[in-house]
Structure 1
Amino acid sequence: MWRAAAAAAAPARALCRAPLPPAPQPRRRAVSVAVSPAAGLADERVETRVAGLSPGQPVTLRAVAADERGCLFQSCAHYRADSRGELHLGTDASHGGSYTGVEPMGLFWSLAPAGMERPYQRLLPRSTDVPTKVEVFVHESHSLPDALPGPLVAKAKVERWFTAPGVRRIRLKEGRVRGSLFLPAGDGPFPGVIDMYGDEGGLIEFRSSLLATRGFAALSLPYFDFEDLPKVLKELKLEYFEDAARFLQRHPKVKGPGVGVIGTGKGAELALSMITFLPEVVAAVCISGCSSNTVADLHYGEMTLPGLRFDMNKVSVSDAGVFDVFDALEDPANPANSPSAIPIEKAEGHFLLVVGEDDHMWKSSLYAELAISRLRQYGKENFELLSYPGAGHRIDPPYTPFCKVALDRVLGVPVLGGGESKAHAHAQEHSWRKIQEFLHLHLG
């Protein structure tokens, strides 16, 4: 009987020894990336988060954008998910790629021409009423900027706008003055600012449109190579800039009594001349400028400030064909060049001097020191200085992609502007806030 019972129990024991089926695993969440706001102003930060990764999983985040000509720009950064399988670019550090460290906007300011594109191009908007569209991708594993990325696991789209709703753009043809006037939404009146760039010429509007979103009536003012203005920069008459200042000062949407001016490079130098000679101008922001008149003679009535010249024998060219013009401009401190010095001690308004200490376009840090020395020599303290270690020549509104070497629009050759990407990006973000504070303070 016991044998029969044992025989009956054998199948049961065999069943107990059989392996159990695997327990059902929790379903893994799909990977997602969220960029907020998905549509916002180009000078505002976005928040980028990734969720649904495995703890510690290595991923590459890529950003891709195209300019209005179809040229592709890209950047990438290497991250690892935290213990919850998440990433937050505001607190988590990149370990490689286009930048390292905690950089919430690194994917944007490190955008550079893709490998198949012509190098040294800048991602700048040609039209302020069309956003820059950026796609953000999440790929498995770490991959270099121009290497084939790993499998795509998530993506998101972002729009970066240079004009806020309600901002009006008015094309200007007032007497001999040309340009675009950007007026903020609302009744006003608003503080008025003239905005100028350098010797690349033409009409550059994106800083003016951003100033208008921040409450300024901003006049983007070209001074050559636009419509019926002179095609090349041979000589300048300050009366043209005087007409622009008077037009803006008298505009019904502009509060007085004076207006401000912001300029970069040659535009900064013109800003110094405007605040020196024109009583309508009471505040000047000078970015990477020279305290002497350069390149083209400047006339005002019977007065002429001769332009310092560039000595092409002092231009060096690298093996890659990049031009370095750092030492080429005649020395403003040389007593023989004193007729070119702008007599800024005559100005009754206020200066904000903004320079990058690694500017290789010219010696803007030295030129700022010369300007300050001249002002103090005459007992003036009507200036502020923002000097940024590691920043290069063209300090634009924040998150504008850094470009150490850029194609010169006139010469058609790559020219070294200097700077280190992270330091330059931080200079752009900090200076933009200080510029607005300065203009609001001195324009009422």
Structure 2
Amino acid sequence: MLRAVSRGRTRLPCVRAALRRVCLSVSPQSGLADEQLHVRVRGLSAGAPVTLRAVAADEDGCLYDSCAHYEADSGGAVDLRRDAAVGGDYTGVLPMGLLWSLSPAVMERPYHRLEKKGVHKSPQQVEVLLHEGHRDPKALPGPPLAKARLQRQFVAPGVRRIRLREGAVRGSLFLPPGVDSFPGVIDMFGDEGGLVEYRSSLLASRGIASLALPYFAFEDLPPAMTEFHLEYFEEAVNFLSRHPKIRGSGVGVIGTGKGADLALSMITYLPQVVAAVSISGCCANTAAPLNYKDFTIPALSYNMSRVRISEAAVFDVSEALDDPLDPANSRCLIPVEKAQGSFMFIVGEDDRNWKSSVYAKAAVSRLQENGKNNYDLLSYPGAGHRIDPPCSPFCPVAVDRVLGVPILGGGELKAHCQAQEDSWQKIQDFFHEHLK
């Protein structure tokens, strides 16, 4: 008798779901990771409070989740493209809010970024679940009324990934499908080091051949940023520009953080580079001296005494870098006015990693003072430091690989993620325009 009652209770949520014919749909169920989702619920009672959750895991098995509270309309439906979240991890009409707000689950270490590493191995799996009532984001959610699984692909069908060991150059070349030739781009990130492929794979999925280029902490490359030699990056440029699948006589480069000031140095000194996108970068050489032929650009110094630490042990390093506009640091500045190519500067006005908005405006002023108009400046209010391809989770604080501590990146969820969406298409348009 007791066992029969127990079994009946465990079946009740499923019975209720069946009687109401609750349906949770997410489309596309399988699509590129930069595509918008459409999440809808039907079959609820009018005005019913519900919680939608998203759950994903990285390659190490660490869990990330998000949740938002909604109320069904008079027809018993919820549509994330139309309806506002009334609580949870975000509020307002944010169709992609469940993906934008994915963060480490309660039992996981905080301040880690959900970042796809093995882009060619498998898609990112995400489960979306529907629960009755407005559930506390930190509480156990209980059994779902409905659920849906989706796959976020980082490599479109037909895209080829070629692991590169060409002379001193290491990395991965992603080629779009088809028999045509394509614009070619070198893609670099910041002080996390290693091989970062997800932006290159998505660029190739959108018709731009991309070489994901590591420059330290990978295979036989230097283990740390002690000095840079522009000849290494020149060798990568020569390889890409000579590749039979690359069209035109020049290539582009895109970089984030330290990769951004390397991008500026490449377009300044390497004539084969004709287009450069700097994301959250500096107008001066940073981290380590940059050597090329018979000259060296010294690096701006960091003063760790200017670092502030919050009560939550989050490090604010926004004032740590020496001022590149101080005349004493003029030798560190990258002479971008010498470049013959075109620039795109992308910055968040709430970047708390460093003052990338100030640095971009300084580079633009330097171009203007020399009669140049070869630039676009995309400056986003409310956006923080790491401006990634769209649908990437917002991570205002992230553990730094070098320092091993959580670093404040700044930004606000909606503004930051909208900046990611807006800049992504403009990046593609920029390269298609200048790499003809």
Q: In structure 1, what is the Cα distance between the partners aligned to 2:246 and 2:34?
A: 23
Q: In structure 2, what is the Cα distance between the partners aligned to 1:408 and 1:399?
A: 22
Q: What is the CA distance between 1:150 and its match in structure 2?
A: 5.2
* Residue in structure 2 matched with residue 373 of structure 1 by the alignment: 365
1:192-217 per-position Cα deviation (integer Å, ceiling 9, x unaligned) = 00000001110000000000000011
1:62 aligned counterpart, secondary structure:
strand
2:39 aligned counterpart, secondary structure:
strand
1:27-83 per-position Cα deviation (integer Å, ceiling 9, x unaligned) = 943211010111110000111111110111110000000101010000001111111
2:154 matches 1:162: yes
1:194-242 per-position Cα deviation (integer Å, ceiling 9, x unaligned) = 0000011100000000000000110000000000000010000001000
* Residue in structure 1 matched with residue 293 of structure 2 by the alignment: 301
Q: In structure 2, what is the Cα distance between the partners aligned to 1:144 and 1:297?
A: 50
Q: 1:212-251 counterparts in 2 under 5 A? A: 212-251=204-243
Q: In structure 1, what is the Cα distance between the partners aligned to 2:129 and 2:192?
A: 34
1:223 aligned counterpart, secondary structure:
coil
Q: In structure 2, what is the Cα distance between the partners aligned to 1:152 and 1:193?
A: 45
Q: In structure 2, what is the Cα distance between the partners aligned to 1:57 and 1:49?
A: 14
Q: What is the CA distance between 1:144 and its match in structure 2?
A: 1.9
Q: 1:199-278 counterparts in 2 under 5 A? A: 199-278=191-270
Q: What is the CA distance between 1:188 and its match in structure 2?
A: 1.9
Q: What is the CA distance between 1:318 and its match in structure 2?
A: 1.1
Q: Do 1:113 and 1:120's aligned partners in 2 also have CA atoms closer than 8 Å?
A: yes
* Residue in structure 2 matched with residue 10 of structure 1 by the alignment: none
Q: What is the CA distance between 1:148 and its match in structure 2?
A: 2.6
* Residue in structure 1 matched with residue 82 of structure 2 by the alignment: 91
1:110-165 per-position Cα deviation (integer Å, ceiling 9, x unaligned) = 00100110000000011002111110000000012112325521000010010001
**Counterpart AA for 1:88:** D
2:102 matches 1:111: yes
* Residue in structure 2 matched with residue 62 of structure 1 by the alignment: 53
Q: In structure 1, what is the Cα distance between the partners aligned to 2:364 and 2:37?
A: 37
* Residue in structure 2 matched with residue 31 of structure 1 by the alignment: 22
List runs of 5+ in structure 2 lacking aligned partners: 1-17
Q: In structure 2, what is the Cα distance between the partners aligned to 1:187 and 1:289?
A: 35
Query: Which one of the candidate residues 123, 127, 143 is aligned to 1:131?
Result: 123
Q: In structure 2, what is the Cα distance between the partners aligned to 1:250 and 1:144?
A: 56
2:361 aligned counterpart, secondary structure:
helix
1:423 aligned counterpart, secondary structure:
helix
Number of residues paired by the alignment? 418
2:97 matches 1:100: no
* Residue in structure 1 matched with residue 40 of structure 2 by the alignment: 49
**Counterpart AA for 1:81:** A
2:287 matches 1:286: no
Q: In structure 1, what is the Cα distance between the partners aligned to 2:404 and 2:392?
A: 22
Q: In structure 2, what is the Cα distance between the partners aligned to 1:202 and 1:148?
A: 37
Q: Do 1:288 and 1:394's aligned partners in 2 also have CA atoms closer than 8 Å?
A: yes
**Counterpart AA for 1:46:** L
**Counterpart AA for 2:103:** A
Q: What is the CA distance between 1:268 and its match in structure 2?
A: 0.5
Which consecutive aligned stretches of 4+ in structure 1 deviate over 6 angstroms post-superposition? none
Query: Which one of the candidate residues 396, 403, 409 is aligned to 2:395?
Result: 403
Q: In structure 2, what is the Cα distance between the partners aligned to 1:319 and 1:333?
A: 32
2:312 matches 1:320: yes
**Counterpart AA for 1:322:** V
**Counterpart AA for 1:143:** R
**Counterpart AA for 2:188:** M
Larger Rg: 1
2:87 aligned counterpart, secondary structure:
coil
Identity %: 65
Query: Which one of the candidate residues 66, 70, 78 is aligned to 1:79?
Result: 70
**TM-score of the superposed pair, with normalisation by structure 2:** 0.95
Q: Do 1:207 and 1:397's aligned partners in 2 also have CA atoms closer than 8 Å?
A: yes
**TM-score of the superposed pair, with normalisation by structure 1:** 0.93
Q: What is the CA distance between 1:323 and its match in structure 2?
A: 0.8
**Counterpart AA for 2:202:** L
2:163 aligned counterpart, secondary structure:
strand
2:425 aligned counterpart, secondary structure:
helix
Q: In structure 2, what is the Cα distance between the partners aligned to 1:306 and 1:256?
A: 33
**Counterpart AA for 2:400:** D
List runs of 5+ in structure 1 lacking aligned partners: 1-26
Q: Do 1:404 and 1:416's aligned partners in 2 also have CA atoms closer than 8 Å?
A: yes
2:20 aligned counterpart, secondary structure:
coil
2:405 matches 1:413: yes
**Counterpart AA for 2:146:** A
